[in-house]
A = this chain, B = another copy of it.
Amino acid sequence: MNKGFNSFGVIGGDKRQLYCARALSDDGYMVSLGGFDSVKEMRNIEVTTPFEAALMSEIIILPLPSLGSDGKIPAPFSKGNIELTPDLLTAMKGKRVFCGFADKLRKAVPAPGAEIFDYYEREEFAVANAVVTAEGAISLAMINFEGTINGSKCLVLGYGRIGKALTDMLTSLGARLTVSARKPQDLAWIRSKGATAVKFSKLYELESFDIIFNTVPAPVLDSLLLAKLASKALVIDLASGKGGVDFYSAERMGIDTIHALSLPGKCAPKTAGEIVKNTIYHILEEEYR
């Protein structure tokens, strides 16, 4: 990848950032780590303060999201989150800063004097994380469902990125799979995978499932559909925000539900950190082509 850059400062964030730092170092770059007080040392990596990590590096990597609701860089491995002090901002001057949700950062620091890039808004980042999310969802199903995926009746709601990845994994594990989507072309893809394709409007015609994965961020599984499809099911909701399940009704009906958010960081921080690294590499490559 090398385009004349040699040094990366990884500042704040969770295990993903640690694995991102690890992967950068394994690729031969100089890496400084800031905002990880509880990490004492890491092979070939300079564990230091956010200020020094920024000062020593040409490229700075902030976590996803770059700023929390307190306006600070999240730092769960330190006693407190990291403030954007004038010193830290000075150390970032003239450098390339990569982060998730760049808008928050840009709003907080209107004239940062640094070039800010957002890895989170790259579609490749979303695709790679969808695969991680799908695998995380499947591991949740394996742990919480008392049978196997193999042979079980599964339903996936939505055929976006996560729905696509789930469809491939579940069919290949031998689930009896139904996938629900809206667009006719998605239904055609689903059928081609050997799964049963069902329009959302026809969901009420189906019978009960063993495991239901929702990926649609809209109230899809209301109390009526829950009663029809989920009376004996484990329901895993992967939709962001409020999710797509009427959790109140589900609880009343005794249906097991899991609202699983941010699976990549939780289930597979190593892969998630490598995805951050790869996305940053690709952005740099495109910059310097």
Say if the beta carbon of A45 comes within 8 Å of chain B: no
Instruction: Please determine whether A127 and B185 come into contact, CB atoms closer than 8 angstroms.
Output: yes
Instruction: Please determine whether A124 and B192 come into contact, CB atoms closer than 8 angstroms.
Output: no
- Within the complex, the shortest CB–CB distance from A72 to chain B, in Å, comes to 26
Which residues of B have CB within 8 Å of A138?
142
Copies of the polypeptide in the assembly? 4
Which residues of B have CB within 8 Å of A127?
185, 188-189, 192
Instruction: Please determine whether A194 and B169 come into contact, CB atoms closer than 8 angstroms.
Output: no
- Within the complex, the shortest CB–CB distance from A181 to chain B, in Å, comes to 11
Instruction: Please determine whether B184 and A271 come into contact, CB atoms closer than 8 angstroms.
Output: no
What is the interface of chain A, defined by CB distance below 8 A to chain B? Answer: 15, 19, 122-124, 126-128, 131-132, 135-136, 138-139, 142-143, 145-152, 165, 168-169, 171-176, 183-185, 187-189, 191-194, 267-271, 274, 279, 282
- Within the complex, the shortest CB–CB distance from A231 to chain B, in Å, comes to 13
Instruction: Please determine whether B165 and A15 come into contact, CB atoms closer than 8 angstroms.
Output: no
Instruction: Please determine whether B268 and A147 come into contact, CB atoms closer than 8 angstroms.
Output: yes
Main SS class of interface, A? helix
How far does the alpha carbon of A268 sit from the alpha carbon of B270 in the complex, in Å? 27
- Within the complex, the shortest CB–CB distance from A183 to chain B, in Å, comes to 8
Given the interface contacts A127-B188, A185-B126, A185-B127, does A174 sit within 8 Å of B146 by beta carbon?
Answer: no
How far does the alpha carbon of A160 sit from the alpha carbon of B219 in the complex, in Å? 32
Instruction: Please determine whether B188 and A128 come into contact, CB atoms closer than 8 angstroms.
Output: yes
Residue of B nearest to A172 (CB): B172
Instruction: Please determine whether B282 and A146 come into contact, CB atoms closer than 8 angstroms.
Output: no
Instruction: Please determine whether A267 and B172 come into contact, CB atoms closer than 8 angstroms.
Output: no
How far does the alpha carbon of A136 sit from the alpha carbon of B185 in the complex, in Å? 20
Instruction: Please determine whether B184 and A148 come into contact, CB atoms closer than 8 angstroms.
Output: no
- Within the complex, the shortest CB–CB distance from A14 to chain B, in Å, comes to 12
